[in-house]
Structure formats: C-alpha cells, structure tokens
Structure 1
Amino acid sequence: MSQTNTESTPVIQESIIQAKNIGKQYGNDVILERVSVTVQEGEFITLVGASGCGKSTFLKMILGIEDPSSGDLLLDGKAIPNEPGPDRGIVFQQYSVFPHMTVLENVIAAKGFQKSSLTGYLFGKEKQQAKQEATEMLEKVGLSHALGRYPDELSGGMKQRLAIAQALICKPRILLLDEPFGALDPGIRADMHALVLDLWREHKLTVFMVTHDLKEGFYLGSRLWVFDKVRHDPQAPNAYGASITYDLPLGHAPKELYEEIDDRLRPVDKNTSLSTGSEG
C-alpha cells in the first residue's frame, strides 16, 4: 500500500539532531561548509574522512564546545547549548581518566560532576547510590575485577572501557566517540566494537563515532557519513571546507562503492599500502 496514504503511514520518529547549512571556519581557513543533515534518535552514525576535514569539529559542535560559524545546529529542534551537558557524553582517543583515582572512584566522580560542577563530591545516600550505579556500569563494560586498580595499572583497552563507563554513568542520550579505538591493537579493537554495539542497543543511545578506519566505519552502526571537499583551489587549499559527500545506510553499500570511497580517502599506491599495512 502506498505510504502517501496518511491513514496507513506510520508515525515518523522525531529527529534528535538537525544541521541546517552548517559552516565552520577559523579566520580564513574554512573547515566545514554546506552541511545539512538530520539524525533520528537511536541511530549509530560513523564519520570518516581525511585528517583535518572537520569530523571532530562536527562532534565538538554537538558537544557544545564549538559553535558553527554559519547555519543552525539543533538538538530536539532547539539550538544546542554552548556548553557540554549530561545529555551528551564523549570518549576521546586519549584516555580521559583521573590518574590519582581508582577505577571505581573515577566513575563515581563522573557521576558527581553531573551533580556539582564545582567539586564533584557526593555525600550520604547520593554517594551510596552513585557507588552502586558505578559498580553496575563497570560490570557491564567488563571491569568488575578492577574496581580498586589505578589507571596506570590498566591496559589501553581497559582504560577505554573505563572512559566509556564514565560517559555512560551520566545516562546521556547522545554518545560521541572521537577515534576511541585508534591506539588499540586489532584484537582489543574487535572486543571494543562488540562492547559499544551492545551498549548502544541496551541503552538506546544515539551514537556519533569518528574513525580513520573505513572498514571500522562500515562495520559499526547503522549509517556512514563521508566528509570530503567537493571544491578545491590549489592556490588556496583552505578556501573551501568539507561537507558530507556520502550518507549511506550501512549494510546496503555495494563493494564497488566501498572501493570508490576508499580510493578518495586514501589516494596512495595500492602496492605501497598493502606492503606497509597502512590504514590511512
């Protein structure tokens, strides 16, 4: 039956993020231009593109620590606040943990900063509740055996699990991942992929993940964005910014399209790439 029949058309899910002709520049350097896109709640977006093409900048605008130079970026139809909030959690490639605190204390502190931006300290029943929630979250990310360890006693993969627990303890609607697995060994990365997918489904998160690994971008999530410049000036390489040149529902892209995107992101000699094992 045709979907134009309003009696049989399903209710359309509300968008959580809307970018309307977004542009971003620093001085004369244009980073992003003409970015217009809509994201529904519960989607898992992977962002790929060459270094410096604005992927992380776009994440920072969603987080609220960067403002668009032009256009509108909306959260639930309203301008995104120009500061981070508990509804948006972020995990960076660099481990954002407190070295002087144990694993458990790190996650409790993250919960405390949600309550108090000044000290992060919790007391009484609030502290006991936070401790219980932190313990449960650390069990979900596979760190229940390391509650009393300090960050310098953890492997890279364990530190990223801790950073994810810190982000999720505040129960965000949106989880921002900025190349979170780039420094991890392939085997550990595979474990982290499975963990993030499980947490995405369980907590019904909307996820944005920046990666330089195209295979990772195609494997994870439900939708892939490719950031690239469509206009170039050899005399002024920063005169034009990147936009979203591909917006693909994952699981439906043919192999030829994957190879075309790979060639655009990594315009290097294939024999050299294969011999060095470079991921670009």
Structure 2
Amino acid sequence: MSFIEVRNVWQQYGDHVVLEGLSLSVEEGEFCTMVGTSGCGKSTFLRLLLGQERPSKGQILLDGRPLSAEPDPTRGVVFQRYSVFPHLTVLDNVALGLELPSAPWVGRLFGRRKRAAREQAAGLLHRVGLGPALEKYPAQLSGGMQQRLAIAQALIMKPRILLLDEPFGALDPGIRKDMHALLLELWKETRLTVFMVTHDLSEGFSLGTRLMVFDKVRIDPHAPLAFGARVTYDLPLNGKRIDGHQATAASLSSAMP
C-alpha cells in the first residue's frame, strides 16, 4: 500500500467537471510537481488533499485510511498569497501554530509552555533565514521574507505532507532561486511528501522527483465544461533534472500556454 492512494477521483461543481477519473499512487517522501494549463484542476486537487473539499466521486487514502475530511496537522500548506497574520510579529505568527492546538479555548499558552513554543518557533525561523526579523511585522518584510515566514508557519506543526500552490510565482527570479534552494534543503532534511503546483515547467523539472501534467483528455467544443482533467504525463525524475528530459520538456512547453 502506497503512502497516498488516489482512486478514481472526480470533482464536479454542478455541470462543471474539473477532474475526472484521477488515479495516483504516491510514496512517502516523494516531491511531486504539478503543471498544466490554467483551470485544469491542479489547485482543486491540492484542496482535495488538504481536506478543504471532498471528491464528488472516488476516494483518497492516507496510509490505507480515508483522508480526514478537514485540514489537520498532518498537512501543511503554502499559497502564492501569503497567509500570515498582519497584526502579529514574525515570531508570534509561527508560535501561534503551536499555541492554538494546545490551548483551543484561549488561543494562547502561558509560562513555561509559552516560552517553549516561542523557542521552537524561533529555532525554525532561524533555520529559514528569518532570525534577525523575529520582532518585525509581515508588512515590514520583503516578498521573499514573507514567503519564508509562510513556509515556517506550514512546517512548525511537523506535517507529513506539504502542499504548495504556486508559492514562488510572485517572486523575482533571483529570490525565487534562493527559495528553491531553501525548499530542497528543508525537504531533504524532513523527507516530507510534497505536492507543488507551478506554471513554470523548468521549476517543475528542477525541483521535483516526479512531474505530473494535468490536462483534459476529452474536449467537446459544444460543452466545454462537460469533461475534466486527469494526469496525462507522470514522469519519475529520479534526481535527473532538466538535462535528462529535454525532449519531453520541449514537447510539454509547446503544449502549454
């Protein structure tokens, strides 16, 4: 049994079919990058993995059991738009992830437990390069620093799965390269199972151990919403980056806007 099993999953909103017949097996520790045209169901699939939505048909299993119907600490998520609390400092933004589950009624810890949570949060923030910014507020951070904060928020609960929805799309190329290096370093240390949506094909090849291309197999010009997408290419990269897949990359690039 694989770590994650996606069995004949369909997702439909009224008459609009977004995903159809999606089936995948993913082993623990894989880094799955997902590419495809806009609107082909990549972000929808992330929401299904997160538990924000439930499949219209089919099933997603985690360790052989149905995936929890609501987000839980096993799954961390980072969006392109930073999901940080603007009124809290960098340190408090991350420490809150430890405080809320431990003190659901008041949302805060006190005394020794609070100090321990803040020390743990500070250690992670130093690890992602935000040690000098612990007492700053998100508005005082650059885009790259805010994304580092969002990654720290996602990792503080030590999830087993990390979901990334175009996390670096709004960053300048130089900062994006630095974020790639940070993400790969953290992944190698934690051995998280990662699912990352990107519109940048070269990013998909360079980061992932596995590249999945979402596309519609069936198209009816008279009923454009009648059919959904599935994974049409599923390429194991096995540590081989762009050089090992030049022909495939070229054919995929020509098929994507």
Taking structure 2 as the reference length, what is the TM-score of the superposition? 0.96
Residue 264 in 1 paired to residue 251 in 2?
A: no
1:194 aligns with 2:149: no
Q: Could you tell me how far apart the structure 2 residues matched to 1:260 and 1:132 are?
A: 49
CA drift at 1:176: 0.5
The structure-2 alpha-carbon separation of the partners of 1:71 and 1:109, relative to structure 1 and needing over 3 Å to count, comes to same
SS in 2 for 1:15: coil
Partner of 2:172 in structure 1? 185
Give the structure 1 partner of residue 137 of structure 2: 150
Supply the AA of the counterpart residue of 1:15.
S
1:82 aligns with 2:69: yes
Give 1:125 deviation, angstroms: 2.2
Find the counterpart in structure 2 of residue 18 from structure 1.
5
1:89-133 residue CA offsets vs partner (Å, 9 max, x unmatched): 000001111001110011011222233445431122221111111
Please, which of 200, 207, 210 is the counterpart of residue 194 of structure 2? Answer: 207
For 2:97, which of 104, 110, 117 is the aligned residue? 110
Question: Structure 1: which 5+ residue stretches go unaligned?
Answer: 1-13, 267-280
Alignment pair present for 1:33 and 2:17: no
2-side partners of 1:166 and 1:79: how far apart? 26
- 2:227: which partner in 1? 240
For residues 40-51 of structure 1, the aligned pairs below 5 Å read 40-51=27-38
- Give the whole-Å Cα distance in 2 for the aligned partners of 1:156 and 1:96: 12
Instruction: Report sequence identity in percent.
Output: 59
- Tell me whether 1:57 sits opposite 2:44 in the alignment: yes
Q: CA deviation at 1:204?
A: 1.3
Gaps of 5+ in 2: none
SS of 2:55's equivalent in the other structure is coil
Q: CA RMSD in A?
A: 1.1
Q: Please tell me whether residue 168 in structure 1 is matched to residue 168 in structure 2.
A: no
TM-score, L = length of structure 1: 0.88
- Matched to 1:90, the amino acid is V
Aligned pairs, how many? 253
Distance 2:186 2:150 in 1: 13
Q: Report whether the alignment pairs 1:216 with 2:207.
A: no
State the distance in 2 between where 1:43 and 1:155 align.
Answer: 30
2 CA distance for matches of 1:171 and 1:91? 14
Residue 265 of structure 1, CA deviation: 1.4
- Higher-RCO chain (CA-CA 8 Å, sequence separation at least 6): 2
Question: Is the partner of 2:248 in helix, strand or coil?
Answer: helix
C-alpha distance 153-111 of structure 1, shift in aligned 2 (>3 A) = same
- Which structure would you say has the larger Rg? 1
- Output the CA distance in 2 between the equivalents of 1:155 and 1:103: 12
Deviation at 1:21, TM superposition (A): 0.6
Q: Partner residue of 2:115? A: 128
On the 8 A contact 1:178/1:210 being kept in 2, the answer is yes
SS in 2 for 1:31: strand
Q: What is the letter of the counterpart of residue 232 of structure 1?
A: I
Pairwise CA distance, 1:255: 1.3
Per-residue deviation at 1:221? 2.0
